[in-house]
Amino acid sequence: MKADVERDRANRSLLVKLSVVVAAMFGFGFALVPFYDKICQVTGLRNIDQADEVKSTQIDYARTVRIELDANTRNLPWTFRPLETLHPVHPGEIAQVVYQVSNNTDRRVIGQAVPSYGPQQAAQYFRKLECFCFTRQVLEPGETRKMPVVFVIDPALPKDIGTITLSYTFFEVEDGRGG
C-alpha cells in the first residue's frame, strides 16, 4: 500500500514537471515571433515589405549576371511560376521580370511571398525597387495575375558571382479581419 502511494506521488510529480516543460515550450514558441520580428527590425534583415535603396547608378556593361528565377508555394492552392526562368542583366542596370499566379480554388485566398537568394551572400546586392512580395496578394476564385519584380544588381557584387537564383515562396496568410 505504501509503495502504491509513493508510485502515485512520483507519477504526479512527473506529470507536474512535464506540464511545466510543455507550458514553457509553448510560451517560448509564442514569444519567439515578436522577438524575431524585433531582431529583424533592428538589424534590417528580412525587410521584405519595403523597396531597397539603390546607391549606384553606374551600369557595368562589361559584366553580365544570370538571374535564375524560381517559384514555389507552401500549402497554398495556387499555381505560381516565372514567365521566364533565366534573365541576363548587367550590374547597375534596372531590370524587370514577371511572375504569374493563379488561384485554383472557388474561394478568396490571401498569400504572402517570401524571397530567397542563392548564393545567400547575393541577397545584399539584389535591390528590389518594386515587388509583389512587399504586400499580401489577394486572389479571388479562379483569378490569374501577372506580377512584376523590378530590381537592380549592385555593381559591387563580387566578381566570382556570375549567377543569382531568385526564388519566391508563397504562403497562405489569414486576412486579419477576424471572420
pLDDT beyond 50 at 179: no
Q: What are phi and psi of 84, to 5 degrees?
A: -135, 150
Question: Which pLDDT does position 171 carry in this prediction?
Answer: 94
Angle (CA) 83 46 74, round 5°: 50
Question: Which pLDDT does position 9 carry in this prediction?
Answer: 81
Contacts 24+ apart (CB under 8 A), 7-13: none
Better pLDDT: 113 or 56: 113
Which residue shows C-alpha cell 507550458?
23
- Tell me if residue 85 falls in helix, strand or coil: coil
60-90 tens-digit pLDDT:
999 999 999 999 999 899 999 999 999 999 9
Please name the helix (run of DSSP H) or strand (run of DSSP E) that holds residue 22, with its range, or none.
helix 2-43
Would you list the DSSP string of 43-63?
HTTT-TTSPPPP------TT-
Band of residue 178 on the pLDDT scale cut at 50, 70, 90: very low
pLDDT beyond 70 at 3: yes
Going 51 to 55 to 116 to 32, the CA torsion angle's sign is negative
The CATH number of domain 65-172, selected from 1.10.10.10, 1.25.40.10, 2.60.370.10, 2.102.10.10:
2.60.370.10
Going 123 to 170 to 144 to 48, the CA torsion angle's sign is negative
Which residue shows C-alpha cell 492552392?
77
- Average pLDDT for 44-63: 66
Q: Find out whether 80 and 170 touch, Cβ atoms under 8 Å.
A: yes
